[in-house]
Amino acid sequence: MTRPRGFPPDQGRKAWERALALYRGDLFNGRGTRTYAWVDERDGSGTTLREQYREEYCLAAQRLARLYCRMGQPERAVPLLKGLLKAEPTLEDVVRDLYQCYRQLEDLGSLIREDRHLRQALREGLYDPTDPDDDPSQFQPEEATINLYNEIRADLEAKGIRNVAGRDGSDAA
């Protein structure tokens, strides 16, 4: 679903924007907030109400970001996607959406930086230095993510888009 059902695209965008504006963080979570056991009880699906609430926010943010991209406004999508990645830096579907934004923005430097951030997050999140059989180089993005990155990078380079980082992705001085 790309917009709330039953809404024309512009009204759907406004509905998503209003819904996201109402979100104030995790449900019943903050300084001085009373705790309620029922908020953290797992239901039949194995999730809590707090987790469901957070997931609905994430889905709405990602859908709004995709709508912005389809409307030719990737600069509005980037902060939403980066916000999602701040909380969960290894969400590769979100990273792929961000790559698409950078394609539209013709921003090769940001594309390269985002790929580096993803690879670092995968290593940090999955690598266990205490395990002698663990190899940090084995924690790579999914094939779909790698392919999309390579496709967009090649497209941007073919257009003559230059990058503030070196061609190998290292920061230039």
Specify if 146 maps to a domain.
yes
Specify if 12 maps to a domain.
yes
pTM, two decimal places: 0.74
Residue 119 and residue 86 in one domain: yes
CA distance 52 to 68: 24
Share in percent of the chain as helix, strand, coil (round to 5) = 60, 0, 40
Specify if 98 maps to a domain.
yes
CA distance 87 to 92: 13
Summarised one tens digit per residue, pLDDT across range 87-113 is 899 999 999 999 999 999 999 999 999
| 55 vs 89, higher pLDDT | 89
38 Cβ neighbours under 8 A, 6+ residues apart: 49
The C-alpha torsion from 94 through 96 and 97 to 100, rounded to 10°, is: 160
Domain that holds residue 58: 1-28+36-71
Compute the average pLDDT of residues 152-162: 93
Residue 149 and residue 102 in one domain: yes
What's the domain count of the chain? 2
pLDDT at 138: 81
Specify if 76 maps to a domain.
no
Compute the average pLDDT of residues 59-75: 92
CA 126 to chain centre: 18
Q: Give the relative orientation of helices 108-126 and 92-105 as an angle to the nearest 10 degrees.
A: 170
Summarised one tens digit per residue, pLDDT across range 5-18 is 566 666 666 776 77
Nearest by Cα to 167 from 101, 100, 111, 119: 111
Summarised one tens digit per residue, pLDDT across range 115-143 is 999 999 998 888 777 888 887 778 899 99
